[in-house]
């Protein structure tokens, strides 16, 4: 069964998937939508005050969606300690990743809300377990994709290759969101990056999310997430594209 939702991926790790996922969730909630969020697997977990291994990404998403700790396992079913790609982190931890379980967790989340956001780990070809990649999870869930990209040098190559690979796998890409955009310092480099990404992929830039000292994933600071999302992201266009993709299925 297909559901209305989005899969948030990125051109690489540490690009800002979690910030953008949280920003979208906060903005959608502000519009009165019942929003669900899941990061099925995370690596680089840390110990909290109770000695529990937790993902900082999940903590941030809990705050962004206004949920408490009782929802942690729903938002992040699997957290691994090593800061490695999940397949390797699991082996290093002596854990076998149950792909069927992760897929079921995603489906359950999508079943429980009006609009579900699934955040990937690393880039689109990051191995979750053995030869099962993030792209395989995307294919199973059949959700349209938004790619988060950097504004700096090298982003054209990463963005174009990510979009091309996704399409090669039969996935629908709605467009790009550029994270850590700074209007006051951007120049020909950043603007030409955007122009070439649009030209070479034929996909829209759905927003340029600014850097903010009030927002931090490691510190679980969400600042004015919804306000920034509404101002800098094409929220209504994203909702419309998601609706259109869902109606084609």
Instruction: Look up the CATH number of the domain holding residue 49.
Output: 3.40.50.300
The pLDDT tens digits for 123-158 are: 999 999 999 999 999 999 999 999 999 999 999 999
What CA–CA distance (Å, rounded) separates 70 from 62?
10
What CA–CA distance (Å, rounded) separates 205 from 128?
28
Residues labelled as active-site residues: 39
CA dist list (Å): 169 to 112, 166, 185: 27, 5, 37
Can you give the pLDDT at residue 49? 84
What CA–CA distance (Å, rounded) separates 249 from 240?
15
Q: 2-6, 127-131, 227-231: lowest mean pLDDT where?
A: 2-6
Q: How does residue 81 score in pLDDT terms, banded at 50, 70 and 90?
A: very high
Can you give the pLDDT at residue 246? 66
Its pTM stands at 0.96
Residue 228: its H or E element = helix 225-232
> What would the mean pLDDT of 19-44 be, rounded to a whole number?
96
Give the number of domains in the chain: 1
Q: How does residue 248 score in pLDDT terms, banded at 50, 70 and 90?
A: low
Can you give the pLDDT at residue 1? 34
* Residue ranges making up the domain that contains 213: 5-248
- The answer to whether 182 touches 211, Cβ cutoff 8 Å, is yes
DSSP-assigned beta bridge partners for residue 53 = 47
Q: How does residue 44 score in pLDDT terms, banded at 50, 70 and 90?
A: very high
């Amino acid at each position: 069964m297909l559901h209305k939702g989005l899969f948030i991926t990125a051109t690489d790790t540490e690009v800002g998937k979690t910030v953008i996922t949280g920003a979208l969730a906060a903005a959608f909630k502000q519009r009165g939508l019942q929003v669900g969020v899941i990061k099925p697997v995370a690596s680089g977990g840390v110990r909290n005050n109770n000695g529990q291994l937790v993902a900082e990404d999940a903590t941030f998403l809990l705050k962004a969606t206004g949920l408490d700790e009782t929802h942690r396992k729903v938002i992040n079913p699997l957290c691994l300690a090593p800061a490695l790609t999940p397949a390797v982190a699991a082996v290093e931890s002596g854990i076998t990743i149950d792909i069927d379980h992760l897929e079921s967790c995603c489906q359950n989340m999508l079943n429980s809300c009006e609009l579900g956001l699934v955040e990937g780990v690393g880039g689109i070809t990051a191995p979750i377990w053995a030869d099962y990649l993030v792209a395989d999870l995307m294919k199973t869930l059949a959700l349209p994709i938004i790619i988060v990209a950097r504004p700096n040098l090298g982003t054209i190559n990463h963005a174009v290759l990510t979009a091309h690979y996704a399409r090669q796998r039969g996935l629908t890409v709605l467009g790009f969101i550029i994270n850590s955009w700074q209007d006051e310092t951007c120049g020909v480099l950043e603007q030409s990056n955007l122009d070439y990404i649009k030209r070479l992929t034929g996909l829209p830039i759905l927003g340029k999310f600014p850097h903010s000292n009030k927002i931090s994933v490691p510190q679980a600071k969400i600042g004015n997430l919804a306000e920034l999302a509404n101002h800098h992201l094409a929220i209504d266009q994203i909702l419309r594209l998601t609706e259109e993709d869902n109606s084609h299925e």
